[in-house]
Structure 1
């Protein structure tokens, strides 16, 4: 989590000091790779990950990027040969509807996904929009499995991906 968001919001909401030391979490991540605005190839499948998402009014969060030119510049950096795109937030108009019936996804992310056309785009963030849909060559999955109050609600999304090797 970015330090500014943590100081402003997270620490006030969650006072469990034993979880505040990031080195404890990092020590557990010995068999995975965290993709923050970068990609990797596994079994010939290129995966790109980014936590960036536009801010939602009334919902403070980390890794926010302002809508408009900053958002467009950020998503323009995604390679065009991505097979699986993993982002925190959704693209605009795709599994991004809040309980107040607003579409809050990133317009710039929608433009990038339309251009790149990954096989899969996996995201969450909008807990009330859990589900999957296909548009063109891309399967979009909002895998937010808990409610806004962090209560388990939906099963994890599991699927197989053919390797390219």
Structure 2
């Protein structure tokens, strides 16, 4: 089963070459302003791709998905994961869009108890975890060297121990690393200057 994974496309989705695969995963910030027009453009593009399964986890720019009534407009062939999961061919996927912060971004949650309540929902049998935020200290550094990942997330990862953890959010830190039994991937396609610098990840399960 082949996964094709990307994140942080910020309206540049039409300019990205998407490899063939079975499951397409987008880990957030598919839009830049989160408007209806931006979102509908992206959803139409995603819906028409040939991949059998499509998984979308919104990011902090994707305001459209904050309103439950608007989530009903997501095409039926797109699995929108907001603190929810699904099983595909025996693999358990779980997705959450929340990011740490107290600013007026989509799906922002205060660091500490508030954001931890979301991570506590992650089932222990999760094979593939998709969050928009990275965990603190893992592919989460901006160009100045400051780490912006979530401090609460690594604590849950010690319990859940997914095989794979996909995220984005921090454009500067795109890449991969392995820690303990989990392979981590920052899937950001754009750099900090909103230039396309990376290609989607292709991974065979």
Q: TM-score, normalised by structure 2?
A: 0.64
Structure with bigger gyration radius: 1
2:204 is matched with which residue? 160
Shift of 1:155: 1.5
Shift of 1:30: 4.0
2:90 is matched with which residue? 44
Deviates more, 1:48-57 or 1:141-150: 48-57
Separation in 1 of the partners of 2:112 and 2:36?
38
1:1-165 mapped onto 2 (5 Å cutoff)? 10=33, 19=37, 28=47, 29-55=75-101, 61-161=105-205
More strand by proportion, 1 or 2? Answer: 2
1:3 is matched with which residue? none
1:31-64 Cα deviation digits (max 9, x unpaired): 221111101000000000011010287xx63111
Report the CA distance shift for 1:107/1:156 in structure 2 as closer, same or farther (over 3 A). same
Report the CA distance shift for 1:150/1:56 in structure 2 as closer, same or farther (over 3 A). farther
More helix by proportion, 1 or 2? Answer: 1
Given that residues 166 and 187 in structure 2 are in contact (C-alpha distance below 8 angstroms), is that contact kept between their aligned partners in structure 1? yes
1:108-146 Cα deviation digits (max 9, x unpaired): 111111210000000000000000000011000001011
Size of the aligned set, in residue pairs, is: 145
Report the CA distance shift for 1:69/1:43 in structure 2 as closer, same or farther (over 3 A). same
Structure 1 unaligned spans of 5+ = 1-8, 12-16
Separation in 1 of the partners of 2:86 and 2:144?
37
Separation in 1 of the partners of 2:84 and 2:124?
13
The root-mean-square deviation of aligned C-alpha atoms, in Å, is 2.3
Separation in 1 of the partners of 2:134 and 2:183?
12
Q: TM-score, normalised by structure 1?
A: 0.79
Separation in 1 of the partners of 2:102 and 2:182?
25
Given that residues 56 and 104 in structure 1 are in contact (C-alpha distance below 8 angstroms), is that contact kept between their aligned partners in structure 2? no
